[in-house]
Amino acid sequence: MNIVFKNAIAQLFTYGIRAISDFVIVVLIGRLAGVSNLGIYSFAITFSLAARFMLDLGFGMYLVREIAKNKNNVNKYIGNTIFVLLFVSPVLILLIYAFLYTTILDSIKINAVILCVLGMIFMAISSTLQTAFHAFQKMQYQTLVIFIQEFSFLLGSFVVLFFKFDFIIIFFIYLFSRLLSMICAFIVYNYKIVVFNFNFDNKFIPVLLKEVSPFVIQLIFTTIYARSAIIFISYLLDDLSVGLFEVGMAFTLKGIIISQIISKSLFPKLSQLHKESNLIEFDNLCKKLLNITNVISIPICVILFIYSSEIIGLFFSDSEFSKSIILIKIMSIALFFKLFALPIADILTTSNKQELRTIIVSMGAFVNLCSLYFLIPYMGIKGAAFSMLITEFFMFVLMILFSSKIIRFYSIKSLLIGFVNIFIPILFLVLINVRSLFALLGFLLFYFAMLLATKTIEKDFLKKMITDTKYI
């Protein structure tokens, strides 16, 4: 498990860097440029992320899985994938520009989206190269690339905001940081994986596209359910509402990185065990994955719900941001379901059952669109938050139902134990009725004691963690 632990640490830094960057830029824009400009930024990023999902075509998870099984063919997979990306990109830009031109009057928004989409094209190529780092279980190189990318973006954005330059310059910096990411990924790939060879194969590409087709459908529906709320709010409400919703998202649902760190670090190992038909070890590792996710996610969601007012007050002085408090409370519950569902979804993928994952995501997208359509006109941005909660709960239930009998049983058992573990710590916070740092520490101590009492974690848990760090 030492290599797994090492990968987990690398993923912790990678996703941590992304999360910090996403969070810091939201706070910087909110404090230095206002909620409305934050709304413009959120809309542009959301639209470009939707384009990124389409551009990826589901290659990411597929490439990691297949390269992990056939490392000698890494150039074949990477080279042909990049060729497809380069072919699709111009068409995607034209389609997006045509859509924006016919639906949006604000030229700043249009320019911002186009710049972000161009950045996403560079990012898609960079991410394709980074799948090799995952497959070879050298995830520290991905961490390096992401650090350079996000540091350059944050530094440039801070200068623009602090000296009050035109807000549109932030999007040029975004484009530059993604170009830099692509260049760095190419350099690392050449020196640490294998010398890059474009390796165009007109016979292999149709096979590649056929294999990723379930992922393509899944990503299209993922785009709809994950990012459509911002689009709905932008068109039905205003930039101010988009900015407030982005704040709620920044403090809650973007916490999905917790599950991503854990799940993605185990993904190559799970794929290898499944390929070798080592089902006993595969099931044991799946159980550990779900258990760790459960132990970490429950207290985080509880803290976000209870301390939402203090969190907003800590980062934003403008009273306008207080409207995000209720959004954080609602979406912190949604976050719990999202955190627990992701590992199950990745287990389905490693088991070559991505078609089940596609069905779940497509149904979730339908539920999300319907709830957004009906709730936002009547409830405003709170309707969008409730829509996210409804969607995540719906998909969470389906993930459990569609998983194998072993995983289904262990998921339910783990959840029940998790609720028992958190009951007394929550009761402690309710009884003292104090929202201080000491109360938070008391809550965490009670929770850790309950984990030991129910044997959710063993007494030598910390000792094992310290031992594992010696191999990093």
CB-facing half-sphere around the CA of 322: CA atoms within 13 A: 5
Single-letter amino acid, residue 158: F
Using CA atoms, how far apart are residues 461 and 447, in angstroms rounded to an integer? Answer: 15
Query: What number is the average pLDDT over the span 348-366?
Result: 79
Report how far apart, in Å, the C-alpha atoms of 256 and of each of 55, 418, 443, 460 are.
22, 18, 22, 28
| Count: domains in the chain | 1
pLDDT of residue 54: 55
Has residue 466 got a pLDDT over 50?
no
Has residue 2 got a pLDDT over 90?
no
Query: What number is the average pLDDT over the span 45-70?
Result: 69
Tokens coding 130: 């980074």
Using CA atoms, how far apart are residues 433 and 298, in angstroms rounded to an integer? Answer: 20
pLDDT of residue 400: 85
Phi, psi of 357 (to 5 degrees): -60, -40
| Domain enclosing residue 88, as ranges | 1-201
The answer to whether residue 223 is domain-embedded is no
pLDDT, the chain, mean: 81
Res. 387 pLDDT band, cuts 50 70 90: very high
pLDDT digits (tens, 9 = 90+) for 295-332: 888 888 888 888 888 888 888 877 788 889 999 999 99
The predicted model scores a pTM of 0.74
Least confident of 19-28, 29-38, 52-61: 52-61
pLDDT of residue 184: 95
Res. 471 pLDDT band, cuts 50 70 90: very low
Res. 447 pLDDT band, cuts 50 70 90: confident
Has residue 121 got a pLDDT over 80?
yes
Tokens coding 5: 């632990």
Q: What is the percent of the chain with per-residue pLDDT over 70, rounded to a whole number?
A: 81
The answer to whether residue 32 is domain-embedded is yes
CB 143 within 8 A of CB 10: yes
Using CA atoms, how far apart are residues 368 and 372, in angstroms rounded to an integer? Answer: 6
Has residue 235 got a pLDDT over 90?
no
Has residue 53 got a pLDDT over 80?
no
Separate counts of helices (H) and strands (E) for the chain:
18, 0
pLDDT of residue 25: 94
pLDDT of residue 51: 64
pLDDT digits (tens, 9 = 90+) for 449-464: 888 777 776 655 445 5
Work out the end-to-end distance of the chain between its first and last CA atoms, rounded to an integer number of angstroms: 12
Has residue 20 got a pLDDT over 80?
yes
Has residue 443 got a pLDDT over 50?
yes
The answer to whether residue 172 is domain-embedded is yes
The answer to whether residue 104 is domain-embedded is yes
The answer to whether residue 106 is domain-embedded is yes
| Of 41 and 422, more confident | 41
CB 394 within 8 A of CB 416: no
Closest CA to 396 of 343, 454, 326, 441: 343
The answer to whether residue 413 is domain-embedded is no
The answer to whether residue 39 is domain-embedded is yes
Using CA atoms, how far apart are residues 92 and 358, in angstroms rounded to an integer? Answer: 23
Scanning the structure block, which residue is given the tokens 């068409």? Answer: 91
The answer to whether residue 196 is domain-embedded is yes
The SS3 of residue 378 is: helix
| Of 192 and 260, more confident | 192
